[in-house]
Chain A
Amino acid sequence: MAQPAGRAVSAKLEIRRVSKWFETGDGKVVEALRDVSLDVDEGEFVSIVGASGCGKTTLLRILDGLIAPSGGEIRLDGRPIAGPGRDRALVFQLDALFPWRTVTDNVLFGLEVQGRVDDEARRRAAELIRFVGLAGFERSYPHQLSGGMRQRVNLARALAVDPEVLLMDEPFASLDAQTREIMQAELLRIWNASRKTVVFITHQIDEAIYLSDRVVVLTSRPGRLGEVLTVDLPRPRGLEIKRTAEFGELVGRVWRRIESEVRESVGVPA
């Protein structure tokens, strides 16, 4: 089935039967994704969870246009995408900030390569830096900032090009647990204010549920679409919602779905 049932006819982002295989050096073919179809609505926050190596990052790179799918297609507002575009921005797993640029210049990078730097852009960049809570650090260099602060710059850099879809590849994976919690709440605050369409990748189930409208489970080898879970917890959500029974219930459901694969990947049978 190419068309997932029960969704709006024209979604913001349409992923249609996307497959991806890679050829390894010794001529073998590795299948990373098989027949993945998913619709994401305008302003929706969707997380994709799965065990490591399930092809989550590959899918996100295809959505950004950094790599082409082997089969299927992606449509944004009904138009097929081919290559990176202004309408999408990727927030990287490692903070891929330019070490020789100040916070402001990092935030302006996307606008700069797109030839859109003017006074208005600079004003917006300054505003975004305040918005992500980095006022006073405009002239600092990445190596002078903490991990959480660098990841905020990363987010501001992606938001600066004013994308319609924000693609986030495990942005908080390298942060410690406490910083991570704070950053999750910060991301929700920013998302609430900007209402971007977000596709968020993570291997942390509670993070996915806390942030998302829907959580999509991607199974491994090859990556295929598993359960799609609607999270109907009320918004705005505070961090305390993580300690409610409904939240625990949802985490349990997703966990049961991927438990066997995680066990297999670490060699601990049930």
Chain B
Amino acid sequence: MSVRSAQADLGVALPVPAARQRGFVERHRSRIRAVGSILVVFVLWELVGRFVVTNRLFFVPLSSVFEAGTSLWARGQLQLHLWTSSLEFVIGFGAAAVTGIALGAAMAVRRPLRDYLDPWVAFLYATPTVALAPLFILWFKLGIESKVAVIWLVAIFPILLNTLTGIEATDPDLIEAARSFGARPLQIFRKVMLPSALPFIVTGVRLGLARGLVGVVVAEFFGSKAGLGYLILFAAGTFDMATLFVGVLILALAGVISTEALKALEVRLAPWRSLRAAR
């Protein structure tokens, strides 16, 4: 089963003999099971919240979470939190993607730069950089700057390292072929190294994105006036379980959607690779 799901993950369509074309249920069996699993847990959540753990200080049924969400939306508060967190994330993560790809690429093609930066990248990548969040709040105050800085710092390393690895992993035969046609170094970079590294870069972006989402919440925990992290922290402080789960569920949804979208992009960008993996 794990092989099948790994193939489904890669989006590989395995050839099906024409003689036994399968029906809708058979073709989408894995997906149907996944959706079924989610539905069962949601129903269990509702039942446990209503009949098992009835103390609303510890747990609430799913329906209460939806009620809290719609009520927050009606009062215009959810929009504020969503907007605040999104803005922080887009700026911080966008900066991490741009600087991560640029620095990773520069380190791959310029040996001295790599030698200078390597120890710092290794040091900061190994450090749980969210631990620096309180320091950033002190430096940049409670505004958006401190959150952007935290998100940037936690998200940049997987992007940088994957870009670096991807460019270094370029097949030397392909570089040689390009040189043989008289390609100049910049052309080799643009037409050979970059396309070859692209799937790696997307993987780095996907990993950085997941870390960036953690960064938003943690940065907001340490000092903020709005945002999903603020919403969660405030709800926990007032024992408002329903509102707390609103924040958590929105973050989970954002994480799942963006990760799946990037996984799909990885397969589209390098179909030759997933085909090899499936063989």
Is B272 an interface residue, CB under 8 A from the partner? yes
Interface 1/0s, chain B 228-243, versus A by CB < 8 A? Answer: 0000000000000000
Which B residues are CB-close (under 8 A) to A100?
195-196, 198, 269-270, 272
**Contact, CB under 8 Å: B176 / A66:** yes
> Among B181, B183, B271, B272, which residue has the most Cβ atoms of chain A within 10 A?
B181
Interface 1/0s, chain A 74-109, versus B by CB < 8 A? Answer: 000000000111100110101010111000000001
> Among A94, A98, A114, A142, which residue has the most Cβ atoms of chain B within 10 A?
A98
Taking CB as reference atom, which chain B residue is nearest A64? B180
A49 to chain B, nearest CB (A): 22
Is B276 an interface residue, CB under 8 A from the partner? yes
Complex: A89 Cα to B177 Cα, angstroms: 9
Is A201 an interface residue, CB under 8 A from the partner? no
Given known A-B contacts A141-B272, A143-B275, A143-B276, A113 and B173 have beta carbons under 8 A apart:
no
Is A69 an interface residue, CB under 8 A from the partner? no
Interface size class of A (residues with CB under 8 A): 20 to 34
Complex: A117 Cα to B187 Cα, angstroms: 15
**Contact, CB under 8 Å: B171 / A66:** no
27 chain-A/chain-B pairs, Cβ below 8 angstroms: A66-B176, A66-B180, A83-B182, A84-B179, A84-B181, A85-B182, A89-B181, A92-B173, A92-B177, A94-B173, A96-B174, A96-B177, A98-B192, A99-B272, A100-B196, A100-B198, A100-B270, A109-B181, A109-B191, A110-B181, A112-B191, A113-B187, A114-B181, A141-B271, A143-B271, A143-B276, A161-B181
**Contact, CB under 8 Å: B271 / A96:** no
Q: How many residues of chain B get a CB closer than 8 Å to chain A's CBs? A: 24
Which A residues are CB-close (under 8 A) to B95?
none
A residues near B (Cβ < 8 Å) are: 64, 66, 83-86, 89-90, 92, 94, 96, 98-100, 109-110, 112-114, 141-143, 161
Contact of B183 among A64, A90, A113 (CB under 8 A): A113
**Contact, CB under 8 Å: A113 / B178:** yes
Which A residues are CB-close (under 8 A) to B183?
113
A88 to chain B, nearest CB (A): 8
Which B residues are CB-close (under 8 A) to A109?
178, 181, 191
Which A residues are CB-close (under 8 A) to B181?
84, 89, 109-110, 113-114, 161
Taking CB as reference atom, which chain A residue is nearest B173? A96
Complex: A90 Cα to B171 Cα, angstroms: 17
Which A residues are CB-close (under 8 A) to B179?
66, 84
**Contact, CB under 8 Å: B195 / A113:** no
Taking CB as reference atom, which chain B residue is nearest A65? B180
Complex: A98 Cα to B192 Cα, angstroms: 8
9 more A-B residue pairs beyond the given contacts A98-B174, A98-B195, A143-B271, with a C-beta to C-beta distance below 8 A: A66-B180, A86-B182, A96-B176, A98-B192, A99-B270, A100-B269, A100-B272, A141-B271, A161-B181
B residues near A (Cβ < 8 Å) are: 171, 173-174, 176-184, 187, 191-192, 195-196, 198, 269-272, 275-276
Total A-B Cβ pairs within 8 A: 58
Complex: A99 Cα to B276 Cα, angstroms: 12
A157 to chain B, nearest CB (A): 8
A98 to chain B, nearest CB (A): 6
Which A residues are CB-close (under 8 A) to B195?
98, 100
B279 to chain A, nearest CB (A): 10
**Contact, CB under 8 Å: A84 / B276:** no
B270 to chain A, nearest CB (A): 7
**Contact, CB under 8 Å: B192 / A90:** no
- Please list the 3 inter-chain residue pairs (A to B) with the smallest Cβ-Cβ separation, ordered nearest first: A143-B272, A110-B181, A96-B177
**Contact, CB under 8 Å: B272 / A89:** no
Complex: A66 Cα to B180 Cα, angstroms: 6
B204 to chain A, nearest CB (A): 18
**Contact, CB under 8 Å: A142 / B272:** yes
Taking CB as reference atom, which chain B residue is nearest A95? B173
Which A residues are CB-close (under 8 A) to B271?
141, 143
Which B residues are CB-close (under 8 A) to A64?
180
A151 to chain B, nearest CB (A): 13
A92 to chain B, nearest CB (A): 6
Which A residues are CB-close (under 8 A) to B275?
143
Complex: A163 Cα to B184 Cα, angstroms: 18
Complex: A194 Cα to B198 Cα, angstroms: 38
Contact of B171 among A89, A96, A110, A143 (CB under 8 A): A96
Which A residues are CB-close (under 8 A) to B178?
109, 113
Taking CB as reference atom, which chain A residue is nearest B272? A143
**Contact, CB under 8 Å: B180 / A89:** yes
Taking CB as reference atom, which chain A residue is nearest B192? A98
B109 to chain A, nearest CB (A): 17
**Contact, CB under 8 Å: B272 / A113:** no
Taking CB as reference atom, which chain B residue is nearest A142? B272
Complex: A260 Cα to B181 Cα, angstroms: 38
A93 to chain B, nearest CB (A): 8
